[in-house]
């Protein structure tokens, strides 16, 4: 009888131990399911590195050309006496007193050159070149290709002044840009036979690319 009771107690104790063990195992499984392990943790994707090169900085921009290209573009030199031939022509109606002269410069060289300012024209024994007529001062230099011409007008007298006799005429282009000494004067062939009269009202126009631009101011004076 005692043996039976002890056996029954052992069986109940074994069942109780099994139940406790089963409950502990179930709790452990539940805990494991609720708390993800290292393998179950979601990892946010890393930010890709910024792209380098043109794709990141936008399209490449070409540098603007420098201002120093002007010297490399074949700038035209100023004309000298060696590049040009000169002539002086009477510009008055037949029978009128000579008061208007047209001076022409022709590029007789083999390359293009530029003329600027006004010719320095001295009428006979005048103390200096004829002043430039107001309103005819030239603007920018202009180019003369071989065979092309530049024009200037000369007014010999302003009227109502003491006159003097002109027997020769000299011309110079002056100092080119003030960077070199002026060339020796060129003696122009007289525009008429014998002498003509001049006074302190004499004037000259700046170099012009056409005959009309050079002579219109002179003939209206």
Integer Cα distance of 51 and 49 in angstroms: 6
Residue 132 is classified by DSSP as: B
Contact criterion met (CB below 8 Å) for 112 and 221: no
What is the predicted pLDDT for the residue at 177? 54
**Per-residue pLDDT in tens (0 to 9) along the chain, 221 residues:** 444 444 444 444 443 444 444 444 444 334 444 444 444 434 444 444 444 444 444 433 333 333 333 334 568 999 999 999 999 999 999 889 999 999 999 999 999 999 999 999 999 999 999 999 999 987 789 999 999 999 999 999 998 889 999 999 999 997 555 555 778 999 999 999 999 999 999 999 999 999 999 999 999 98
Structure tokens at 183: 């060339």
Q: CA–CA distance from 195 to each of 52, 130, 190, 198 (Å)?
A: 85, 17, 8, 10
State the Cα–Cα distance between residues 177 and 182, nearest whole angstrom: 10
Beta strands 196-199 and 186-188: pairing type?
unpaired
CA distance 98 to 203: 14
Query: Rounded distance, CA 27 to CA 31, Å?
Result: 6
Which pLDDT score is estimated for 165? Answer: 97
- Closest alpha carbon to 105 in 182, 184, 174, 188: 188
**CA distance linking residue 24 with residue 17, whole number of Å:** 11
Size (the chain), residues = 221
What pLDDT score does 175 carry? 59
Q: Is 132 within 8 Å of 204 (Cβ atoms)?
A: yes
Please compute, for residue 149, the number of CA atoms within 13 A of its CA located in the half-sphere on the CB side: 13
pLDDT at 176: 56
DSSP result, 155-179: E---SSS-EEEE--EEEE--SGGGS
DSSP 138: -
For the record, the structure tokens of 178 come out as: 């003030």
> CB 206: neighbour CB atoms within 10 A?
23
Count Cα atoms within 13 angstroms, Cβ side, for 104: 15
């Amino acid at each position: 009888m005692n043996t039976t009771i002890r056996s029954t107690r052992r069986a109940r104790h074994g069942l109780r131990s099994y139940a406790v063990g089963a409950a502990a195992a179930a709790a452990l499984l539940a805990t494991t399911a609720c708390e993800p392990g290292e393998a179950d943790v979601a990892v946010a994707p890393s930010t890709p590195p910024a792209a380098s090169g043109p794709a990141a900085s936008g399209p490449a921009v070409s540098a603007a050309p420098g201002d120093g290209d002007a010297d490399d573009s074949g700038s035209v030199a100023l004309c000298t006496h060696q590049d040009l031939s000169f002539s002086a022509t009477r510009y008055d109606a037949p029978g009128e007193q000579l008061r208007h002269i047209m001076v022409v410069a022709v590029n007789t060289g083999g390359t293009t050159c530029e003329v600027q300012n006004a010719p320095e024209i001295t009428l006979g024994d005048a103390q200096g070149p004829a002043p430039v007529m107001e309103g005819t001062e030239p603007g920018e230099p202009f180019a003369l290709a071989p065979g092309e011409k530049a024009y200037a007008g000369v007014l010999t007298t302003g009227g109502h002044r003491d006159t003097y006799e002109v027997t020769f005429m000299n011309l110079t282009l002056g100092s080119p840009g003030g960077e070199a000494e002026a060339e020796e004067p060129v003696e122009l062939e007289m525009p008429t036979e014998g002498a003509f009269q001049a006074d302190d009202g004499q004037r000259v126009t700046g170099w012009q690319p056409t005959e009309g631009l050079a002579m219109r101011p002179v003939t209206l004076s």
